[in-house]
Chain A
Amino acid sequence: MTFTDLLNTLGVPMALLGAVLAALMAGIGSAIGVGMAGEAAAGALTEDPSKFGKVLILQLLPGTQGIYGLLIAFLTLSNIGILGGSADISFAKGMLYFFACVPMGFVGLWSAKRQARASVASINLISRKPDQFGKSIILPAMVETYAVLALLVSLLAVANIGKLPL
């Protein structure tokens, strides 16, 4: 077994590490975010339980990063052949998958946390001014833009790495 062969056995683990990273970090971010927003939402409900529908939506906003992370992880798993098919890719490709997953993982984590803070503030806003629901949704959604952009980069990369002649 040459050194290159040895190195190439690391292809799948590297790619898997990337996939796991995307799901893991974005998932952690969303868990923290939805938790924070949930606390604020429960607080708002003690004053007016009829706002449940509105605060629930605001609570769920930081939850999407986890889903984006799952999406990237799943696409990677499926592309490297772990979900059926032969899991056999070169080290170079494994590294490429790893790097492709990094934006989703990091941006997912941070944007979910920051979005949660905006959500908490928005929950406070609608507990005082219930008619401002439209605006209260948009403010946290602004943060999500960057998670969407990270998702896009990761997505395009993961979807196209398979076509490279490596």
Chain B
Amino acid sequence: MAVLPMRRISIYGLKSQRKGVLELLQRRGAVEVIAQQPDEDKLSTMDTQAARNQFLSTQSTAKRALEILDIHCPVKKSPLAMLEGRTPISSEMYNDGLQRVKEISAVASRIVQLERDREDCKAEILRLQTQKESLSPWLGLDISMRMKGTRSTSVFIGTFPQAYTREQILIALAQKLPEVHAIEVEVLSTLSQQTCVFLICLSEESAAVETALRSMGFAWPPNPSKKPPSERVQQLEGWIQEQEEKLSGILQELKTYGNRRDDLCFLYDYYAMRIEKYEVLALLCQSRRTFIITGYLPAKNVPALEKELTETFTVFVETEEPGENEEVPVALENNAFAAPMEPVLEGYSLPKRGEVDPCTPMACFYYLLFGMMLSDAAYGLIMTIGCAAVLLKFKNMESGLKKSLKMFMYSGISTTFWGILFGSWFGDAVTVISKTFFGTEVTIPALWFVPLNEPMRLLVFSFLLGIIHLFAGLGVQFYQCAKAGRWKDAIYDVVFWYLLVGGGIVYLLTMEMTTEMLGLGFTLPEPVGTISAVCAGIGAVGVLFTAGRDSKNPGKRFLKGIYGLYNVSGYLSDILSYSRLLALGLATGVIASVFNQMGAMVGGGVVGAIVFTLVFLIGHTLNIGINVLGAYVHTNRLQYVEFFGKFYEGGGKKFNPFAAHTKYYKIREENKP
């Protein structure tokens, strides 16, 4: 029900048992180890950065291997799998895994290596195929592409950058070289941008022919094959075949590792634990034969841990109350009703030292306000049943998520409650359905009243709830001051404000103008007004003289007092802020009605029923989503700004014990004390 009291622990032990002590602490997960400055020459800290880097690299290999397996041997995961939490394994399974760490590391490296080979293979195949394709225009050639000629002839094998027929080439050459007569041309292939030719002439005329050919744009092929192209293509195909066989071999081998996924997860976790252990190791003070562990742990865990440590190892354990100025980490412990508030509180800030844990008073209002903003019985039931079903199905869920779901479940119950009070079930769905499809108008009556008909009434109620909420916040402040023995602060900062704001509100209720405007139907009698005015006066004077009590200078103190009194306007805006309870509550109902009416526009009959069902499903899903978000955000706001503004500062550091912060597995402790 509160912030757990912490104790500072120091463990002195022999280095030979360091490993065992650290492992025990990690398994118990009870102590947050803090860094110690070695204050003597004999003591020093250890640098574990190099070892940690090595672990990190193995860990990332395991992660990479898992990603590769996800690609090549995918397993179907349900979208709800994220709710499942870490798989628990027994100590035997853990020890069994430990034996195989080397082997699993080898598997991880092998998988990563295979993936690299696979990538290389793919690239090689592509390269060979491109080569093969570039040879396709030359397939008509049955000699080597590097052939330059014989003793008395010259051979030109190459391309022109445009489409030519044999005739066009011969004519062009005849025009350029009228004296040359012995030229044989063969067109191997023609494309719109390229003509591949084989040309032979006498070697003494080759220089002239080459000049003429160049002027026509002739070019030698960029990578002529030594063998005749068709043979070369066959050779390439052989190589491609080889690579493909290699590739399928690789894929097959990868597939055989599909069942090693669990091992790889274990490897990942194993290194996560080792990295954490080495991080802690770097914090310890050590001499040649001894070490000292210093840290914090919840006081209630001290006896068990002390007993276990001293019984198992030769260590000396000492605990003490943390000093005044130490920044002690904060751990909260709450009952089932208030615990779901912890993540919400963490979203703001954890209590700093000496502050109370506001979870319990927060919880009382949180569910109430949330329910009022959503205020639809059917939506509330859906939320409650949905969250309860998930909570029951996934018992192993991580605690943060579990708390959030519980928060929504309790809020759902409250939503149902308010929905029944305001007579809202999917908005006015029952009325619309009965009217459209059955011809009679059935309405589920509101247990209290229908907000849309009497918005003023709900507005006044929202303000009332707001005032209670704010005064509860002030009450916590009073408790906090009283607990610390600062009775003066309690009176100055809380009682005076109770008198001023409370008196002011009651006084307003004695004026006919206000009660009429708010539609209250009653006006408090005159004497009450006098009493309340006196109370408010006392409060105001009190605030005026005490708000600036930190300042020594009387002038400054007085000015600060006036400024403190000005804070009344803050209370006014705080109270008005609760009008969002009305606005958001109405928004849910009205939007639901809009969807119901839209669905009913087609009228009755089968078609009407189908259209109505569709619009109903889509519309209300949308409405739930938007309004749950709205209710969540604005409930948080009312807590953070209006409520916390009255007493809470925050700024504590979360208790983050040295433990096994793994990702996939949770090691079950059979002999947990």
Q: Which residues of A contact B (CB under 8 A)?
A: 57, 60-61, 63-64, 67-68, 70-71, 74-75, 83, 133-135, 137-138, 141-142, 144-145, 148-149, 151-152, 155-156, 159-160
State which of A75, A133, A141, A149 has its C-beta within 8 Å of the C-beta of B579.
A149
User: CB-CB < 8 A to A148: which residues of B?
Assistant: 579-580, 583-584, 634
Given A68-B587, A156-B459: A141 touches B634 (CB 8 Å cut-off): yes
Q: Do the beta carbons of B637 and A57 come within 8 Å of each other?
A: no
Instruction: Tell me the complex Cα distance, A67–B629, Å.
Output: 13
Is residue B591 contacting chain A, with contact meaning CB distance below 8 A?
A: yes
User: CB-CB < 8 A to B524: which residues of A?
Assistant: none
Q: Do the beta carbons of A152 and B582 come within 8 Å of each other?
A: yes
Is residue B594 contacting chain A, with contact meaning CB distance below 8 A?
A: yes
Instruction: Tell me the complex Cα distance, A155–B456, Å.
Output: 10
Give the contacts of B419-460 with A (CB-CB under 8 A): 452, 455-456, 459
Give the contacts of B634-657 with A (CB-CB under 8 A): 634, 636-637, 640-641
User: CB-CB < 8 A to B346: which residues of A?
Assistant: 134
Q: Do the beta carbons of A135 and B587 come within 8 Å of each other?
A: no
State which of B576, B579, B580, B587 has its C-beta within 8 Å of the C-beta of A71.
B587
Known: A57-B629, A71-B586. 11 other contacts (CB 8 A): A57-B633, A68-B583, A71-B587, A74-B593, A74-B594, A134-B344, A134-B640, A142-B637, A144-B634, A148-B634, A152-B583
User: CB-CB < 8 A to B140: which residues of A?
Assistant: none
Q: Do the beta carbons of A133 and B347 come within 8 Å of each other?
A: yes
Instruction: Tell me the complex Cα distance, A67–B594, Å.
Output: 11
Given A60-B626, A67-B591, A137-B633: A155 touches B347 (CB 8 Å cut-off): no
User: CB-CB < 8 A to B591: which residues of A?
Assistant: 67, 70-71
Is residue B577 contacting chain A, with contact meaning CB distance below 8 A?
A: yes
Q: Do the beta carbons of B580 and A134 come within 8 Å of each other?
A: no
Is residue B348 contacting chain A, with contact meaning CB distance below 8 A?
A: yes
Q: Do the beta carbons of B637 and A141 come within 8 Å of each other?
A: yes
User: CB-CB < 8 A to B636: which residues of A?
Assistant: 134, 137-138, 141
Instruction: Tell me the complex Cα distance, A64–B627, Å.
Output: 9
State which of A60, A133, A151 has its C-beta within 8 Å of the C-beta of B583.
A151
Q: Do the beta carbons of A138 and B637 come within 8 Å of each other?
A: yes
User: CB-CB < 8 A to B597: which residues of A?
Assistant: 83
Which of B346, B455, B456 has the most chain A CB atoms inside 10 A of its CB? B455
Is residue B630 contacting chain A, with contact meaning CB distance below 8 A?
A: yes
Could you mark each residue 606-644 of chain B with 1 if its beta carbon is under 8 Å from any beta carbon of chain A, else 0? 000000000000000000001001100110110011000
Given A68-B587, A133-B347, A138-B636: A63 touches B579 (CB 8 Å cut-off): no
Closest residue to B452 on the A side, CB-wise?
A159
User: CB-CB < 8 A to B634: which residues of A?
Assistant: 141, 144, 148
Q: Do the beta carbons of B637 and A70 come within 8 Å of each other?
A: no
Q: Do the beta carbons of B580 and A75 come within 8 Å of each other?
A: no
Instruction: Tell me the complex Cα distance, A142–B594, Å.
Output: 27
Q: Do the beta carbons of B587 and A145 come within 8 Å of each other?
A: no
Is residue B171 contacting chain A, with contact meaning CB distance below 8 A?
A: no
User: CB-CB < 8 A to A149: which residues of B?
Assistant: 576, 579
Q: Do the beta carbons of A75 and B626 come within 8 Å of each other?
A: no
State which of A64, A138, A142, A159 has its C-beta within 8 Å of the C-beta of B630.
A64
Chain B: number of interface residues, binned into ranges: 20 to 34
Q: Do the beta carbons of B641 and A138 come within 8 Å of each other?
A: yes
Separation in Å of the A108 CB from the closest CB of chain B? Answer: 12
Instruction: Tell me the complex Cα distance, A144–B455, Å.
Output: 21
User: CB-CB < 8 A to B2: which residues of A?
Assistant: none
User: CB-CB < 8 A to A63: which residues of B?
Assistant: 626
State which of A68, A135, A155 has its C-beta within 8 Å of the C-beta of B455.
A155
Instruction: Tell me the complex Cα distance, A138–B456, Å.
Output: 28
Instruction: Tell me the complex Cα distance, A142–B642, Å.
Output: 12
User: CB-CB < 8 A to B580: which residues of A?
Assistant: 145, 148, 152
Q: Do the beta carbons of A134 and B633 come within 8 Å of each other?
A: no
Separation in Å of the A57 CB from the closest CB of chain B? Answer: 6
User: CB-CB < 8 A to B456: which residues of A?
Assistant: 156
Separation in Å of the B622 CB from the closest CB of chain A? Answer: 10
User: CB-CB < 8 A to B344: which residues of A?
Assistant: 134
Closest residue to A145 on the B side, CB-wise?
B577
Separation in Å of the A90 CB from the closest CB of chain B? Answer: 23
Could you mark each residue 344-358 of chain B with 1 if its beta carbon is under 8 Å from any beta carbon of chain A, else 0? 101110000000000
Given A137-B636, A148-B584: A71 touches B590 (CB 8 Å cut-off): yes
Which of B452, B455, B590, B637 has the most chain A CB atoms inside 10 A of its CB? B590
A-B CB contact pairs (8 Å), 16 listed: A64-B626, A67-B587, A71-B587, A83-B597, A134-B640, A135-B348, A137-B633, A138-B637, A138-B640, A138-B641, A145-B577, A148-B580, A149-B576, A151-B587, A152-B459, A155-B455
Instruction: Tell me the complex Cα distance, A74–B595, Å.
Output: 11
User: CB-CB < 8 A to A160: which residues of B?
Assistant: 455
User: CB-CB < 8 A to A133: which residues of B?
Assistant: 347
Q: Do the beta carbons of B626 and A155 come within 8 Å of each other?
A: no
User: CB-CB < 8 A to A151: which residues of B?
Assistant: 583, 587
User: CB-CB < 8 A to A75: which residues of B?
Assistant: 590
Separation in Å of the B252 CB from the closest CB of chain A? Answer: 32
User: CB-CB < 8 A to B633: which residues of A?
Assistant: 57, 61, 137, 141, 144
User: CB-CB < 8 A to B583: which residues of A?
Assistant: 68, 148, 151-152, 155
Separation in Å of the B422 CB from the closest CB of chain A? Answer: 15
User: CB-CB < 8 A to B348: which residues of A?
Assistant: 134-135
State which of A57, A68, A70, A134 has its C-beta within 8 Å of the C-beta of B347.
A134
User: CB-CB < 8 A to A137: which residues of B?
Assistant: 347, 633, 636
Q: Do the beta carbons of B586 and A155 come within 8 Å of each other?
A: yes
Separation in Å of the A97 CB from the closest CB of chain B? Answer: 16
Instruction: Tell me the complex Cα distance, A160–B452, Å.
Output: 10
Instruction: Tell me the complex Cα distance, A64–B626, Å.
Output: 8
Which of A63, A137, A142, A148 has the most chain B CB atoms inside 10 A of its CB? A148
Separation in Å of the B18 CB from the closest CB of chain A? Answer: 32
Separation in Å of the B83 CB from the closest CB of chain A? Answer: 13
User: CB-CB < 8 A to A83: which residues of B?
Assistant: 597
9 closest residue pairs by CB, A with B? A134-B347, A148-B580, A71-B590, A151-B583, A148-B583, A141-B637, A152-B579, A141-B633, A152-B583
Could you mark each residue 100-125 of chain B with 1 if its beta carbon is under 8 Å from any beta carbon of chain A, else 0? 00000000000000000000000000
Instruction: Tell me the complex Cα distance, A68–B586, Å.
Output: 10
User: CB-CB < 8 A to B579: which residues of A?
Assistant: 148-149, 152
User: CB-CB < 8 A to B587: which residues of A?
Assistant: 67-68, 71, 151
Closest residue to A147 on the B side, CB-wise?
B583
Instruction: Tell me the complex Cα distance, A94–B235, Å.
Output: 89
State which of B455, B590, B630 has its C-beta within 8 Å of the C-beta of A156.
B455
Separation in Å of the B67 CB from the closest CB of chain A? Answer: 14
Closest residue to B589 on the A side, CB-wise?
A71
Instruction: Tell me the complex Cα distance, A137–B344, Å.
Output: 12
Instruction: Tell me the complex Cα distance, A76–B305, Å.
Output: 68
Separation in Å of the B621 CB from the closest CB of chain A? Answer: 14
Could you mark each residue 488-508 of chain B with 1 if its beta carbon is under 8 Å from any beta carbon of chain A, else 0? 000000000000000000000
User: CB-CB < 8 A to A138: which residues of B?
Assistant: 636-637, 640-641
Instruction: Tell me the complex Cα distance, A155–B580, Å.
Output: 12
Give the contacts of B564-584 with A (CB-CB under 8 A): 576-577, 579-580, 582-584
Q: Do the beta carbons of A67 and B455 come within 8 Å of each other?
A: no
Closest residue to A84 on the B side, CB-wise?
B597
